[in-house]
Amino acid sequence: MSMEIKYLDCILFLLGILTMAVYHIWLFRKIIKHPTNTIIGVNAINRRFWVHSMMEDVGKNGVLAVQAL
């Protein structure tokens, strides 16, 4: 009985690791191919726009950008 539980634990552990790995591979491919469909991609796009807008007028937005960082 004890050996069966150990085998089951090993199988379930490996299944959990495999599930997590497959999910992260899927998420990585989704971010690369369709960045606007994930919140990670949308945040990256918005960050680029924010940096560009902060650098347009450094005199006005310089302190704000430093405080935000």
User: What 3 state SS string does 15-60 have?
Assistant: HHHHHHHHHHHHHHHHHHHCHHHCHHHHHHHHHHHHHHHHHHCHHH
pLDDT score recorded for residue 64 = 75
| 8 Å CB contact between 38 and 27 | yes
- The pTM of this model reads 0.62
pLDDT score recorded for residue 66 = 74
Tens of pLDDT, residues 21-45: 999 999 999 989 998 899 998 999 9
| 8 Å CB contact between 56 and 62 | no
pLDDT score recorded for residue 3 = 61
